[in-house]
Amino acid sequence: MNVQQTAKIKISSTREELIAIGLTCSGIEEKQYNYEFVTSSDRDKIKVQVYFGKKGVKTILQGNKDSLLYTEISPLIFEQQLLSFSTDNDEPKEYIGSDESGKGDVFGPLITTAFYVDEKVKQRLAQLGVRDSKDLSESQITEIAKKLRSEFPNNFETIPLFPEKYNELYAKFNNLNALLIWTHSKAISNLLDKFKCQNIIVDKFSNRALNITSKNYDSKVDVLQITKGERFIGVAAASIIARDTFNKWFLKIKETYLDLPKGASNGVEDIVKFFIKKYSAEELSKVSKIHFKTVKKYC
C-alpha cells in the first residue's frame, strides 16, 4: 500500500467517524497532494485535509480554532489526550456532579442540575467541548447543552425554581443556602434513583451537609463539596445545562415583559423601578427574587 492509498483510507475513516457523531460532511475531493472534505455544524465549518508525500501522511484542519466545532473534532482526528478537569488527579471513574445557576441574579430563576458521568461519558463530554459554563459564550452554552440533552437525556436531573416558586420556597426556608441544599439534594436524589453511584461532587456553596434521600443512597456514598468544582467535567456539564435553562427563561420572558438584565449590579435597580412603574409590584414578584434588597425596598 503506497502513501496515497494510506491517505485515502485515513480521510475516509475520519469522515465516517464525524458522520457517526452527527456532523454533516461533504464528499471527499482528491487534489494534487491531498484529499479533503468539509465538515459543518449549525454554526461552523472546518476543512479536513489529509496530505500525502515523501514524509508520509499528515492531517490538517482549516478553520477557527476557537470554534466549538474545532474543539469537538480535534481530539477525534488527532487522537489527542482529552482535557482533564481534575488538577489533583482525584476524579472518580464515575460520579454525579451538581451545580446551579442564578443564585446571585435579582431577576430570573434558580436552576440546579445534577449530571451522572462514567469514563465513557467523560470522554464524549470532552469531545463536545464541555468546560466551566463561565468560560463559554451564551451561544456555545446553547449548542453544547442541546447536544447534552440529545445524547444523554437520562444522565441529568434539573430542579428549576422559577421566580414565583422560588419566592414561595424562600419564604419557608428563609435562607439561600438552605434552599440550595434542598435543590441540590433533590436533583442528586432523583439521579441516584436511576444510577447506583458511590461518588457525588458538588460545587461548594455551604459547609452544611446535603440531605440526600434515595433507594440507592447509603453510608458508602462519598459526597465531596469543593470550591471551583467545575474543574470536574461532570460538574461542568451540570453547570452548562443549568445555565442554558436559566438563559432560556430570559429569552422567553422578554416576549411577555421586557429584556431583563442578569446579575445584581446598580443598573438592575433602575430596571426594578421601571418595571414597577410599567407593570406593578405584584408583577415584579413573577420575574424577580423579592428577598433581594434591590427589590424588597420597592415592594
Q: Where are the domains of the chain?
A: 3-78, 95-253
pLDDT at 122: 95
pLDDT tens digits, one per residue of 204-220 = 888 788 988 887 777 67
Q: Which three cell numbers stand for residue 13?
A: 475513516
196's enclosing H/E stretch is none
pLDDT at 124: 94
259 CB burial (10 A radius; 0-12, 13-18, 19+) = exposed
Measured distance CA(150)–CA(162) in Å, rounded: 24
pLDDT at 47: 94
CATH hierarchy code of domain 95-253: 3.30.420.10
Main-chain dihedrals φ then ψ at residue 110, nearest 5 degrees:
-110, 120
230 Rama sector, left if φ>0, alpha if ψ -120 to 50, beta otherwise: alpha
pLDDT tens digits, one per residue of 40-72 = 887 789 999 999 887 788 899 998 887 878 877
pLDDT at 121: 96
pLDDT at 246: 97
Q: How far is CA 110 from the centre of its chain?
A: 15
CATH top-level class for 3-78? Answer: alpha beta
**Helical segments of 175-285, H only:** 176-192, 233-253, 266-278, 281-284
Strands (E), 133-209: 156-161, 199-203
- Residues of the chain falling short of pLDDT 50: 80-89
Q: Which three cell numbers stand for residue 148?
A: 447534552
